[in-house]
Amino acid sequence: MTSLTSEEPMRTDFTNRLKQHGGLVALAVILIFNILVTPNFLQAQTLAVNISQVATIAIVAMGMTLVIATGGIDLSVGAVMALSGALAPLIFLSDFGTTYPVLGLLAALFFPLVAALVCGLFNGAIVAVLKVQPIIATLILFISGRGIAQVLTNGNLQTFSNPEFSYLGTGKILGFPFQGWLAIAIACLLFWLVNRTIFGRYLLAIGGNERAAKLSGGPVRRVKIGAYVICSVLSGLAGLIVVAINSASDAARNGNLMELDAIAAAVVGGALLQGGKAPIFGAILGAVIIQLVKYTLLANGVEDEVALIAKAVIILAAVYIQQARKE
């Protein structure tokens, strides 16, 4: 009898630890599987490709994590990527951009991010001021944003050769892809913002109990709008990176289904859909898992459509673990 009663707490403790560190366990399982099964997985080129792909997911997922921390959701991230990605080539390929290449390049980096910022203000104002449900509010840009991008480009694929702009997606520092360094820098900045500033404290407080945050005098509207603005600007940046990687802008495909990847990465990384928690580095972990699952399936001959089912299963598992933690 004594041995049975002593084993029960150990089993419970092991289960709790597994729930708390489920993301790391999943990552370890995927890595071990790939090392044993997937050809050429440990080659440097494979690592560079995965870092290039995961950086855009991670950047958008970190913004999505902030929105989810307020108890919201942003379905428009993919459309914002398409919009910013469409604007950049239009600017540096314009008469002004070709006449003044340096100014054209700076404008091609600046104005798409401004457009993304405006999209974030739009989403945030509808959610925080008009009190529209986030999933409905962001559905407006989800539908119209990509359409605007296609109208701007007449639905055409924009190809270009601009080494300076392409550095955003193909450049390397110390052998490490530039966008990987960029993702790490953004993660450090957002981690500081969430954990060391008043904005971060109210961000988590709003997700935990919005009414209490408001009664305590917190700037609820400004913080919620700020979360959507940051999410949109990061989505705009991710759109620029994707265009820079491909040296082409396709408004119909740029950022397509990114909202699915970003939400999945945020949830797998530990963000609570009810709000109140913003694990920034967890979002990166979630993005790595999402990317590796997709890479694993494709590298082993599984069709791309199956990856969508796998992502859905991952989200379901993450939500199940969240519910188990609450119980």
Q: What is the DSSP string of 28-91?
A: HHHHHHHHHHSTTTTSHHHHHHHHHHHHHHHHHHHHHHHHHHTT---TTHHHHHHHHHHHHHHH
Residue 324's pLDDT is 63
- Whether the CB-CB separation of 210 and 220 falls below 8 Å is answered with yes
Q: With contact defined as beta carbons under 8 Å apart, do 75 and 139 qualify? A: yes
Q: Tell me which residue of 151, 141, 82, 142 sits closest to 112, measured CA to CA.
A: 82
One-letter amino acid for residue 320 of the chain: Y
Contact partners, residue 243, CB within 8 Å, separation at least 6: 85, 88, 89, 169, 249, 254
Tens digit of pLDDT per residue, the chain (327 long)?
Answer: 445 455 666 666 666 666 667 778 888 888 898 888 888 888 888 888 888 889 999 999 999 999 999 999 999 999 999 999 999 999 999 999 889 999 999 999 999 999 999 999 999 999 999 999 999 999 999 999 999 999 999 888 888 888 999 999 889 898 889 999 999 999 999 999 999 999 999 999 998 888 888 888 889 999 999 999 999 999 999 999 999 999 999 988 888 889 988 998 998 888 888 888 899 999 999 999 888 888 888 888 877 777 778 777 777 777 776 666 655
Neighbours of 188 (CB within 10 A): 12
C-alpha distance from residue 47 to each of 42, 177, 291 (Å): 7, 10, 12
End-to-end alpha-carbon separation of the chain, Å? 27
What pLDDT was estimated at residue 2?
Answer: 47
- State residue 228's pLDDT score: 97
List, in sequence order, every beta strand (DSSP E) within the chain: 158-159, 172-173, 176-177, 248-249
Q: What is the pLDDT of residue 302?
A: 78
Tokens at 96, concatenated:
């002004």
Instruction: Of 298, 178, 189, give the one whose Cα is nearest residue 244.
Output: 178
Closest of 120, 56, 18, 85 to residue 283, by C-alpha: 56
SS3 277: coil
